[in-house]
Amino acid sequence: MKNFVSPKTIEELCEALKQKDNNTFVISGGTDLIIHFNKKEIYDYNIIDITKLEEFKKINETENEITIGSCVTMTQLENSLLINKYIPALVDSAYNLGSQQIRNRATIGGNVANASQSGDTLPVLFSYDANIEIINSTGKRRIDKIENVVEGLEKNNLDSDEVITKIIIKKSSSKSAFSKVGSRKAVTISKINCCAKINISEDLIIYKANIYLGAVGPKPIKAKLIEEKLLYKNIKNINHEDLHEAVYMQIENAIPNRSSKHYKKIAAEGLIEDILNKLRR
């Protein structure tokens, strides 16, 4: 490593971003970036560490929104009463991401910026139609939709002098849950994951459903066929046979030429069943 800066104010961050070149990397938790360095055999680089910026480390509530600083860790999300109240699926996804040591370091901003097709918080943020606030080297801030920021396969739409400052999610009365399947029981990367955000009437009828599947494409896909099957059903009376064809067709449409589709069809059925059980509680 050639140069390391750790700005403590927005002004210092902007100054560091002005000096940024193609060999300079922004780091928060570093759990993805260090793997990237090892894979690409990158040893000669500069670092801008954004973890000293206090506004990037807070979860806040306004009248209509929840804002999550980009350096908020998975452990913070997991333990936040505010997140549990308004975005319960985000608690689920944070809890299921890697080991305790990784969750203590990995940040939500890093998960978004890395844009991995297996990123565990991404289906949740897509389901909640999250907005991403971004700052550039001049101090100008812009807001963009999560589905625009995440291009998938470890690509995002950030300019070279831009950094994610916070994630913004509108408050709602929706219920939500997340589930994943990996190759191991713990410390596993998702083979497939899913988030369902639904609204239920007093007589237990689902009248809104927003479901995203991860790791079945470059970035999370909206599961329209599954949503349609759930709409106007009593959540207590949905059975396996009702959803079987919709889940299989959803995976077939997403990855028709991949050999893993057969495994993922079965896995997706299990995920949906697990999520419905959580939402019935």
Residue 132 pLDDT more than 60?
Answer: yes
Question: 41-94: per-residue pLDDT in tens?
Answer: 888 899 999 999 999 999 999 999 999 999 999 999 999 999 999 999 999 999
Cα 155 to its chain centre, rounded Å, is: 14
pLDDT category at 35 given cuts 50, 70, 90 is: confident
- What percentage of residues in the chain have a pLDDT greater than 90? 83
**Type of residue numbered 121:** T
pLDDT category at 124 given cuts 50, 70, 90 is: very high
Q: What is the number of residues in the chain?
A: 281
* pTM, entire model: 0.94
What pLDDT, on a 0 to 100 scale, did the predictor assign at position 182?
72
The pairs formed by 21-28 with CB atoms below 8 angstroms and a separation of 24 or more are 21/46, 22/160, 24/48, 26/50, 26/113, 26/163, 27/51, 28/56, 28/70, 28/71, 28/107, 28/109, 28/110
Question: 176-231: per-residue pLDDT in tens?
Answer: 999 998 755 555 677 899 999 999 999 999 999 999 999 999 999 999 999 999 99
- What percentage of residues in the chain have a pLDDT greater than 70? 98
Higher local confidence (pLDDT), 238 or 222: 222
As a whole number, mean pLDDT of residues 159-174 equals 97
Rounded-to-10 torsion of CA 73, 192, 170, 54: 10
Name, in order, each residue with C-beta under 8 angstroms of 173's C-beta and a sequence gap of 6 or more. 199
Query: Do the strands 221-222 and 206-214 form a parallel or antiparallel pair, or are they unpaired?
Result: antiparallel
Q: How far apart are CA 175 and CA 168, in angstroms?
A: 18
Mean pLDDT of the chain: 94
Report whether 211 contacts 199 (CB < 8 A).
no
**Type of residue numbered 170:** K
Ranking 104-113, 165-174, 233-242, 254-263 by mean pLDDT, the lowest is 233-242
What pLDDT, on a 0 to 100 scale, did the predictor assign at position 179?
95
Residue 125 pLDDT more than 60?
Answer: yes
What pLDDT, on a 0 to 100 scale, did the predictor assign at position 187?
54
What pLDDT, on a 0 to 100 scale, did the predictor assign at position 39?
83
